[in-house]
Amino acid sequence: MNCQDEKNLKKSPYKGIHENPRTRSGFTVPFQLLTPNHLRCLVSNDNLTPNVQRFVAQYIQSLEQLEVLALLFGEPSKEWTAQEVYGRIQSSAISIANQLEILRTQGFLEMKPGAPPRYRYKPSQEEIHVALLETIQTYQLRRVKVIEQIFKNDAGPIKGFADAFKFRKS
Q: Which of 6-15, 127-136, 161-170 has the highest mean pLDDT?
A: 127-136
Write out pLDDT tens, residues 17-31: 433 433 444 444 444
Domain boundaries, the chain: 47-163
Question: Which 3 state secondary structure label does DSSP give 120?
Answer: strand
Write out the H or E segment, with its range, that includes residue 163. helix 143-163
CATH number of 47-163: 1.10.10.10
Write out pLDDT tens, residues 44-88. 446 788 899 999 999 999 999 999 999 999 999 999 999 999 999
- How far apart, in Å, are the Cα atoms of 89 and each of 3, 55, 69, 83, 110? 32, 21, 11, 10, 19
